[in-house]
Structure 1
Amino acid sequence: MRTFACFTICLAATFSGTFASLDAAPPQEVLDAENARIAAVEKATRSAVCVFAGAAGGGSGVLISKDGYAVTNYHVADPAGSFMKCSLSDGQLYDAVIVGIDPVGDVALIKLQGRDDFPAAEIGDSDQVEVGDWCFAIGNPFLLATDMQPTVTWGMVSGVGRYQYPSGTLIEYTDCIQTDASINPGNSGGPLFNRDGQVIGINGRISIEKRGRVNVGVGYAISMNQVMNFLGYLKSGRVVDHATLGATVSTDSEGEVIVTNILDTSDAYRRGLRYGDELVSFGSKPVTTVNGFKNALGIYPRGWRVPVGFFRGGERHDIIVRLAGVHSREELLAKIQKSVAPPSPDGSQPEDHHEEETKPVSDELKKLFQARSGYANYHFNLEQRERTWQAWKRGDDSSADVWKVAGQLADGDAAQIELSPQKVTASVAGRDSTIEIEGDLTSKLEPVGSGGLLLALHAWQRLQLQGPEKFGEVSYLGTAPLDSIDERFDVLVGLYDAIETRFYFAPQTGDLVAMEMFPEADSDPCELRFQEYDDFEGVRLPTKIIIRRGDQIYNILHGLKWTLSSSEPKDAA
């Protein structure tokens, strides 16, 4: 009896201690972590977008600016057409219009209407993401958000720098983030956030069971740094292409990444890259494997200039290479007519519902769309072109179309140039050059070795005097770097008499900082860098111009003094 009583007392004491521990408050650090997680999710949820496309289904997206720009997947936006409906967690339904598409990278840019104070997500640096980081996805899986409240799933980063092959489609996922946060059909296009509520990726692909389209814990997000590289191009309203180096690589027996083929028409070849060179860096990333090279290459648009490092004979070389496009314009447009991105690597294709439903579109919304070949929405190209043009600080409008300038070359020799609509003349270091602005301009590349300095100056003056509507054909390209990959400029592209020109504007000041003139394809342009602006008779003009061709400086004009006059005689009083 005494033994039983003792056992009863001990058992009661044990359970009493257990219940007491269950009643104890959790540690403060646990509560703090929970509150931080709730706050991050609450902040992030406000920027999450649920995309509804009627019979075409829908998906997810994320707001990236207060004026309504939002990112989603191409395979979400394409079936929806030019217009769609979107909801936010505020319970409101908003009209949205397509802006630009990147069918290779599976990214689309849309713009929500109705506000100028949308809750934009904070952009994170996806290059800083590490395996083991906490993360969470927000979206509209299985289109459950009929109450306009998105779904949140929590997990961790399972892998970084993942490369996903096209799987028979146009889509190629490079440098993507792998996560075990639950991502299902309908999450496509939605944001992947880090633990602080910063968006680090756009969810796109999932690995699924063969028995049904259900996530098995392996999802892939397009890195946000890739999206931001393409953002300027997407805002141009274009159908955007990815880049190629113009060379192929493979791994040799020692594990080095070696150039195995290179086009002699590529910029990489002109800059000095050759067969057999060891590639060690591309853009901002080291290259140690072939997949690593594909990841580094895949995050850049065509036309960008990026640093490339390679070894030859034990010596390192660093060059800046202008990247070509993966596809020709016609090839890319033809491919997107046949291909919509699959939501998973198994190759399954979503149904095409383009013609199943005609959604009513208001007249105001229709004004935000303009069809044109090569563009997802030409309206936004015109909008960005006008913004860039108006921001250019040209000074007063002037009818003076004869510009005379005198200055010095780098070696101190005198230089004089006269620009007019009919011809350009120059006296540089005692040598005279003249080009008439008529006939085939592509062959008028004086002075010799400059790549067409006089023609480039004429194109520059023509744009400044006549504007984008009369220059020829002028469009907004997007944002692109010059010397540093981290500094981007607004770029206008001008086509005039078979000559392509590119004008680079500093977004902070609106100043024209550089231009390139390409007299023919697959050749180095004549490049002008405009510096040290001053006011001349009310017009802002540079007092220093650096002339480059390829990776060499042809010469420098400095101490420039401009005199402006009109070729048309003034009417008598």
Structure 2
Amino acid sequence: MPALRAQELIVPDDVLASQAQRIAAINKASASTVMVFANGGKGGGSGVLISPDGYALSNYHVVQPAGTAMKCAINDGKLYDAILVSIDPVGDVALIKLLGRDDFPYAKLEDSDKVRVGDWCFAVGNPFLLATDFNPTVTYGIVSGVHRYQYPAGTLLEYADCIQTDASINPGNSGGPLFNEKGDLIGINGRGSFEKRGRVNVGVGYAISINQIKHFMGFLRSGRILDHATLGATVSTDENGNVVVTNIAESSDAYRRGLRYGDQLLSFGGRNISTVNGFKNVLGIYPRGSRVPISFLHEGDRIDTFVRLTGVHSPEELLARIQPNRQQPEGEPMPEGQPDPPAPKEPSPQLPDIVKPFFTARRGFANYHFNKLNQDRIWDTYIDQTKPESITGDWTLRGQLGNLGDVSIVLSKTRVDAELPQGKAFAVLDNDLGQQEAPRGSGGLLVALHLWKHIQQTGIGQFGDVYYLGSMPTPKQDEKQDVLVATHSVIECRFYFSPSTGLLTSMEMYPDLGVDPCEIYFSEYESVNGRMLPRHLEVIHGDTVYGELLLKDFEFNSNGGTE
């Protein structure tokens, strides 16, 4: 049979269209891919831009050799200074910020739970630090597995709920993006399996799912060193194949919500639980401090509730675990069973001038500058609407407690006195605040109201130790809330603010960290004399609604007015 001449070869239109779509997706994805270079040429890796103002994701083990500052390039041919923002050393994630532009190209974050085995995907990055011309390398493959759990294997790093791919992920690809066929971000490449002698990819690579990172995203902008969460309980599979509790700490919130030894887990974090690994996968995607839905069977009864998750490590333990012990060359994907990478290096006096204004050192933080930036943003927006500077004296709140009757609460400098339908109650503010839980059943409503008043009158600068926790959803708000943690006289409070309105939506007052807090939900704000005031306060303690305060007027002695 005679050979076809070149001019007789006809490529089907659908093949050409598919090729054009693939090239367009790669071009879009490559524009947001970051090449990370440690100052002084000591290693590097990859990253991906996720916002126009320069925030980018990478691996913790990529940025740690670079320390506080690094150089980053994108395929516009320019080299940018970048600063470390936050680290998640357990999940092997870091957030950095490229400086010099506010119109960076950035990737669209996809829903990685929609990823299926067999989907086309491609990795983009800087393998072997080849991108000296600032053009990344692209490798193509398929999704080989989803919801994989990679044990810490003696290290700090835990890869939970990750995506497995056969797209080549080699040293230098770490921290770089894994995209779906449309060029949308589904994961951050980080761990690979290698031929033992050659450090060459053998077709098994792992990416941190972007949905896990979404759970951490509001925390990553806080400048903190983040920890992962624990339920405070261990589980195993019983003879019937059910996932059951085998041990539980009595100090845990799960115990206070009624979870006990032998109870069967049904769902956690919105996912059905059928295996131990499945539970570990879901637990591993949440940061310390999260509050997530849980369902379980206790003595035959189904219980649906929310549970607060504590940290896997104490803050001091986490700091100790990330002390330097080895260098990880060239952003190498972390092989299983390797030692933990060291912590980011302490900043040196040689920080570039452009970087210095964006860094503040403080123990327990990767970069306190970004924490303070968020504190000021939240508080300035709030007081601009509530104007507390003119109400520095005593407060009197009057209204009704649901349908039970009238309420009057006087908040003075030294005590809080309340006249309630159930009788009188008070709190003496010179005494131990943690021991005063009046009125009964509220978990300390009077002390909580005092601290609500006190932080408005003193501001966050004089209230006590205050830091920005991050943004997170709550059982009553779908929108993630900005959270300030404030400690006054050993009492920890958490204040939740709506990013869209800037107003305080709720607070939690913990008389002790081992007990249920007094929760107050603020709503029905009205502008009264130019000041936004809440008319509705719902008070919850544990699983019980104490009551709803319907406030009719506020009296502020500093100006003698009633509002």
Q: Do they fold alike, i.e. is TM over 0.5?
A: yes
Structure 1: which amino acid aligns with 2:215?
A: N
**Residue of structure 2 in register with 1:158 after alignment:** 144
Q: Map 1:36-47; keep pairs closer than 5 Å.
A: 36-47=21-32
Alpha-carbon separation, structure 2, partners of 1:231 and 1:353: 20
1:83 corresponds to which of 69, 76, 80? 69
**Residue of structure 2 in register with 1:552 after alignment:** 544
Structure 1: which amino acid aligns with 2:369?
A: H
Q: Secondary structure at the match of 1:367?
A: helix
**Residue of structure 1 in register with 2:387 after alignment:** 396
**Residue of structure 2 in register with 1:278 after alignment:** 264
Q: Map 1:152-551; keep pairs closer than 5 Å.
A: 152-338=138-324, 343-348=333-338, 360-392=350-382, 394-400=385-391, 401-429=393-421, 431-483=423-475, 487-551=479-543
**Residue by residue, what CA displacement relative to the aligned partner does 1:169-215 show, whole Å, maximum 9, x if unpaired?**
10000000000011001000000001111101000000000121110
1:565 corresponds to which of 544, 557, 560? 557
Aligned residues of 2:322 and 2:342 also touching (Cα < 8 A)? no
Aligned residues of 1:533 and 1:543 also touching (Cα < 8 A)? yes
Alpha-carbon separation, structure 1, partners of 2:547 and 2:269: 28
Q: TM-score, normalised by structure 1?
A: 0.93
**Residue of structure 2 in register with 1:5 after alignment:** none
Aligned residues of 1:243 and 1:324 also touching (Cα < 8 A)? yes
**Residue by residue, what CA displacement relative to the aligned partner does 1:216-238 show, whole Å, maximum 9, x if unpaired?**
00000000011111111111110
Aligned length: 554
**Residue by residue, what CA displacement relative to the aligned partner does 1:11-35 show, whole Å, maximum 9, x if unpaired?**
xxx21xx405983221111111110
Aligned residues of 2:325 and 2:341 also touching (Cα < 8 A)? no
Structure 1: which amino acid aligns with 2:394?
A: V
Aligned residues of 2:385 and 2:531 also touching (Cα < 8 A)? yes
Q: Map 1:94-109; keep pairs closer than 5 Å.
A: 94-109=80-95
2:35 corresponds to which of 47, 50, 58? 50
Alpha-carbon separation, structure 2, partners of 1:460 and 1:232: 24
- Note the C-alpha offset of 1:312: 3.3
The range that moved more, 149-158 or 434-443, is 434-443
The range that moved more, 278-287 or 341-350, is 341-350
Q: Map 1:62-141; keep pairs closer than 5 Å.
A: 62-141=48-127
Aligned residues of 1:170 and 1:339 also touching (Cα < 8 A)? no
**Residue of structure 2 in register with 1:9 after alignment:** none
Relative distance call for 1:133 and 1:518 in structure 2 (3 A) is same
Aligned residues of 2:145 and 2:165 also touching (Cα < 8 A)? yes
- Note the C-alpha offset of 1:364: 3.5
- Note the C-alpha offset of 1:398: 3.8
Aligned residues of 2:322 and 2:343 also touching (Cα < 8 A)? no
Aligned residues of 1:45 and 1:150 also touching (Cα < 8 A)? yes
- Note the C-alpha offset of 1:508: 1.1
- Note the C-alpha offset of 1:348: 4.2
Structure 1: which amino acid aligns with 2:26?
A: V
Alpha-carbon separation, structure 2, partners of 1:463 and 1:354: 34
Relative distance call for 1:394 and 1:358 in structure 2 (3 A) is closer
**Residue by residue, what CA displacement relative to the aligned partner does 1:52-76 show, whole Å, maximum 9, x if unpaired?**
0134300000001111110100000
Aligned residues of 1:59 and 1:186 also touching (Cα < 8 A)? yes
Q: Secondary structure at the match of 2:322?
A: helix
Structure 2: which 5+ runs fail to align?
none
Structure 1: which 5+ runs fail to align?
1-13
Cα RMSD over matched residues?
2.2
Relative distance call for 1:358 and 1:547 in structure 2 (3 A) is closer
**Residue of structure 1 in register with 2:9 after alignment:** 24
Aligned residues of 1:249 and 1:259 also touching (Cα < 8 A)? yes
Alpha-carbon separation, structure 2, partners of 1:412 and 1:153: 67
Q: Secondary structure at the match of 1:394?
A: helix
Structure 1: which amino acid aligns with 2:534?
A: P
Alpha-carbon separation, structure 1, partners of 2:551 and 2:279: 45
- Note the C-alpha offset of 1:351: 8.6
Aligned residues of 2:494 and 2:507 also touching (Cα < 8 A)? yes
Alpha-carbon separation, structure 2, partners of 1:449 and 1:351: 48
Q: Secondary structure at the match of 2:4?
A: helix
- Note the C-alpha offset of 1:467: 1.3
- Note the C-alpha offset of 1:437: 2.1
Aligned residues of 1:201 and 1:221 also touching (Cα < 8 A)? yes
Alpha-carbon separation, structure 2, partners of 1:271 and 1:243: 17
Aligned residues of 2:404 and 2:421 also touching (Cα < 8 A)? no
Structure 2: which amino acid aligns with 1:396?
A: K
- Note the C-alpha offset of 1:560: 2.9
The range that moved more, 462-471 or 349-358, is 349-358
- Note the C-alpha offset of 1:349: 5.4
Alpha-carbon separation, structure 2, partners of 1:357 and 1:457: 41
Aligned residues of 2:479 and 2:498 also touching (Cα < 8 A)? no
Aligned residues of 1:55 and 1:357 also touching (Cα < 8 A)? no
Aligned residues of 1:306 and 1:485 also touching (Cα < 8 A)? no
Alpha-carbon separation, structure 1, partners of 2:535 and 2:70: 50
Structure 2: which amino acid aligns with 1:49?
A: V
Aligned residues of 2:60 and 2:94 also touching (Cα < 8 A)? yes
Alpha-carbon separation, structure 2, partners of 1:358 and 1:460: 40
Q: Secondary structure at the match of 1:122?
A: coil
Alpha-carbon separation, structure 2, partners of 1:226 and 1:270: 27
% identity of equivalent residues: 56
Q: TM-score, normalised by structure 2?
A: 0.94
